[in-house]
Amino acid sequence: MGAQWKARHKEVAANAKGRVFGKLSKEIMVAARAGADPDMNPRLRLVVEQAKKVSMPKETLERAIKKGAGLLDEGMSLERLTYEGFAPHRVPVIVECLTDNPNRTYPNIRVLFRKGQLGASGSVAWDFDHLGMIEALPARPDSDAELAAIEAGAQDFEPAEEGATLFLTDLTDLDAVCRALPEQGFTVQSAQLGYRAKNPVKLTDAEREEVEAFLESIDADDDVQNVYVGLAG
138-147 residue pLDDT tens: 999 999 999 9
Number of domains in the chain: 3
The answer to whether residue 144 is domain-embedded is: yes
Residue 176 pLDDT? 93
Task: State the residue range of the domain holding 160.
Answer: 127-197
List the end-to-end C-alpha distance of the chain, in Å, as a whole number.
Answer: 6
Q: Does residue 137 sit in the same domain as residue 171?
A: yes
Kindly tell me if the per-residue pLDDT of 1 is higher than 50. Answer: no
Strands 165-169 and 128-138: antiparallel
Mean pLDDT of 167-194: 92
116 and 207 in one domain? Answer: yes
**What is the rounded average pLDDT of the residues 165-191?**
93
Residue 131's DSSP bridge partners are: 194
Q: For residue 53, what pLDDT is reported?
A: 83
Amino acid identity, position 6:
K
Q: Is the pLDDT of residue 208 over 60?
A: yes
With a cut of 90, say whether residue 92 has pLDDT above it.
yes
Say whether pLDDT at 7 is over 70.
Answer: no
Residue 5 covered by a domain: no
| Whether residue 188 is found in the same domain as residue 100 | no
- Considering the domain architecture, whether residues 178 and 204 belong to the same structural domain is answered as no
Instruction: Judge if 131 and 186 occupy the same domain.
Output: yes
The Cα 23–Cα 79 span in angstroms is 13
Q: What is the pLDDT of residue 75?
A: 60
Question: Which of 132, 159, 155, 149 shows the shortest CA–CA distance to 185?
Answer: 149
Is the confidence at residue 10, as pLDDT, over 50? no
Cα 112 to Cα 17, 40, 46, 86, 216: the distances in Å are: 22, 39, 30, 11, 10
Residues 122 and 99 in one domain: yes
**1 occurs within a structural domain:** no
pLDDT of residue 192: 86
Judge whether residue 41 has pLDDT over 80. Answer: yes
Q: Do 114 and 86 reside in the same domain of the chain?
A: yes
Kindly write down the DSSP assignment for every residue of the chain, as one continuous string: --SB---TTGGGSHHHHHHHHHHHHHHHHHHGGG-S-GGG-HHHHHHHHHHHHTT--HHHHHHHHHHHTT-SSS----EEEEEEEEEGGGEEEEEEEEES-HHHHHHHHHHHGGGSEEE-TTTTGGGEEEEEEEEEEESSTT--HHHHHHHHT-SEEEE-GGG-EEEEE-GGGHHHHHHHGGGGTEEEEEEEEEEEESSPBP--HHHHHHHHHHHHHHHTSTTEEEEEE-B--
Q: What was the pLDDT predicted at 2?
A: 43
pLDDT band at 9 (very low <50, low <70, confident <90, very high): very low
CATH of the domain at 192: 3.30.70.980
Lowest mean per-residue pLDDT among 46-50, 172-176, 208-212: 46-50
The reported pLDDT for the residue numbered 20 is 84
Q: What is the mean pLDDT of residues 217-224?
A: 92
Q: What confidence score (pLDDT) does residue 191 get?
A: 86
Asked whether residue 205 falls in the same domain as residue 118, the answer is: yes
In this predicted structure, the answer to whether residue 36 has a pLDDT above a threshold of 80 is: yes
Query: Does residue 131 share a domain with residue 117?
Result: no
**Four-residue CA torsion sign, 19, 25, 27, 29:** negative
pLDDT of residue 11: 45
Structure confidence at residue 108 (pLDDT): 96
Read off the pLDDT of residues 67-89 as tens digits, 9 standing for 90 and up.
988 887 666 688 999 999 999 99
Query: Is 210 inside any structural domain?
Result: yes
